[in-house]
A and B are shown apart, each in its own frame.
Chain A
Amino acid sequence: MRRSIRFLRRGRLVELTDIEPTAMLLDHLRLTEGKRGTKEGCAEGDCGACTIALGRRVNGRLVYQPVNACILLLGMADGADIVTVEDLAGPDGTLHPVQAALVAHHGSQCGFCTPGFVMSLFTLYRTGERASRETVNDWIAGNLCRCTGYRPIIEAGLEAIDGKQPDSFAKASAETERQLAELEDGEDIFLGDQERFFAAPASIDSLARHYEDHPDATIVAGATDVGLWITKQLRDLPKIIHLGRVQGLAVVEESAEELVIGAAATYAAVEEQITRLDPDLGELWRRLGAKQVRASGTVGGNIANGSPIGDTPPALIALDAELELRKGAEERRLPLEDFFLDYGKQDRAPGEFVARVRVPMPGPADAFRCYKISKRFDQDISAVMGAFRLTLDGKAVRAARLAYGGMAAIPKRATAAERALVGADLAEPATWTPALDALAEDLTPIDDLRASAAYRRTTARALLEKALIEIAGGDDRETRIVGHRRAFDERVA
Chain B
Amino acid sequence: MSVSPKPAPAADTAPDTAVVRKALAHDSGERHVKGTALYIDDIVEPLGTLHVAPGYTLTACGPIAKLDLTRVRGAPGVVAVLTADDIPGINDCSPAMGDDRVLADGATVFPGQVIFAVVAETHLLARKAARLADIEIAAEAPVVTVDDAIGRSDDLLAPYAFNKGDVEEALQAAPRRLAGEIRIGGQEHFYLEGQAALAVPGEEGDMLVHSSTQHPSEVQHTVAKVLGLRDAQVVCECRRMGGGFGGKESQATQWAVIAALAARATGRPAKLRLDRDDDMVLTGKRHDAIAAWQAGIDAAGRLEAVDISIAARCGCSADLSLGVNDRMMFHADNAYCYPAARIKSRRLRTNTVSNTAFRGFGGPQGMLAAEHMMDSIAITLGLDPLDVRKQNFYEPGRDVTPYGMTVEETIVGRLVDELETTSDYRARRARVQAFNGKSRLLKKGLALTPVKFGISFTLIHLNQAGALVHVYTDGSVHLNHGGTEMGQGLYVKVAQVVAEAFGIDLERVRITATTTAKVPNTSPTAASSGSDLNGMAARAAAETIKGRLVELAAEVFEVDAGEIGFRDNRVWAGNESMPFEELTHKAHLARVSLSSTGFYRTPKIHWNRDEATGRPFLYFAYGAACSEVTIDTLTGELRVDRVDILHDVGRSLNPAIDIGQIEGGFVQGMGWLTAEELVYDDGGRLLSHAPSTYKIPTASDLPADFRVALYRSEGNPEKTIYRSKAVGEPPLMLAISVFSAITDAVASLKPGSVPPLDTPATPEAILRAVTAMQEGS
Contact = CB atoms under 8 A, between A and B. Distances in A.
Interface of A: 34-44, 46-47, 49, 84-86, 88-89, 95, 99-100, 102-104, 106-115, 118, 133-134, 136-138, 140-141, 143-155, 158, 232, 234, 371, 373-381, 383, 448-452, 455, 458-459, 462-463, 465-466, 469, 478-482
B34 A113 contact: no
B687 A110 contact: no
A86 B34 contact: yes
Given A39-B193, A106-B25, A112-B192, A478 B664 contact: no
Nearest to A100: B33
B32 A108 contact: yes
B635 A459 contact: yes
A479 B441 contact: yes
A137 B192 contact: no
Contacts of B277: 232
Given A40-B41, A86-B36, A108-B28, 17 more contacts: A38-B35, A41-B192, A106-B25, A106-B660, A107-B33, A109-B489, A111-B28, A112-B191, A112-B192, A115-B35, A149-B667, A150-B698, A234-B127, A373-B763, A458-B771, A459-B767, A463-B635
Q: Secondary structure of the A side of the interface? A: loop
The 3 nearest A-B residue pairs measured at CB: A37-B35, A110-B487, A112-B242
B80 to A, nearest CB: 20
A146 B698 contact: no
Q: Which of B38, B634, B657, B679 has the most CB of A within 10 A?
A: B634
B16 interface: no
A375 B771 contact: no
A234 B489 contact: no
Interface of B: 1, 3-4, 6-7, 23, 25-26, 28-39, 41-42, 44, 124, 127-128, 131, 189-194, 240-245, 275-277, 439-442, 486-489, 630-632, 634-639, 656-657, 659-660, 663-668, 675, 677, 679, 687-688, 690-693, 695-702, 706, 708, 762-764, 767-768, 771
A46 B190 CA distance: 12
Contacts of A377: 698, 700-701
A111 B25 contact: no
A375 B767 contact: no
A386 B632 CA distance: 16
A154 B36 CA distance: 22
Contact of A478 (B36, B127, B439): B439
Given A85-B35, A110-B191, A151-B702, A44 B243 contact: no
A49 B3 contact: no
Contacts of B488: 109, 147
B675 A110 contact: no
Nearest to B687: A449
Contacts of B679: 449
A93 to B, nearest CB: 8
Given A115-B35, A155-B6, A373-B635, A110 B243 contact: yes
A86 B35 contact: yes
Q: Which of A42, A374, A378, A480 has the most CB of B within 10 A?
A: A42
Contacts of B688: 449
B190 A103 contact: no
Contacts of A106: 23, 25-26, 29, 656-657, 659-660
Contacts of A95: 30, 33-34
A110 B33 contact: no
A109 B26 contact: yes
Contact of B691 (A35, A46, A115, A378): A46
A433 B639 CA distance: 29
A118 B37 CA distance: 14
Nearest to B28: A111
Contacts of A46: 690-692
Nearest to B128: A234
Contacts of B699: 136-137, 140-141, 143, 150, 153-154, 378
20 contacts: A44-B690, A85-B35, A86-B36, A106-B29, A106-B656, A109-B488, A111-B240, A144-B698, A146-B191, A147-B487, A148-B667, A151-B663, A152-B660, A153-B699, A234-B127, A455-B767, A478-B442, A480-B442, A481-B630, A481-B639
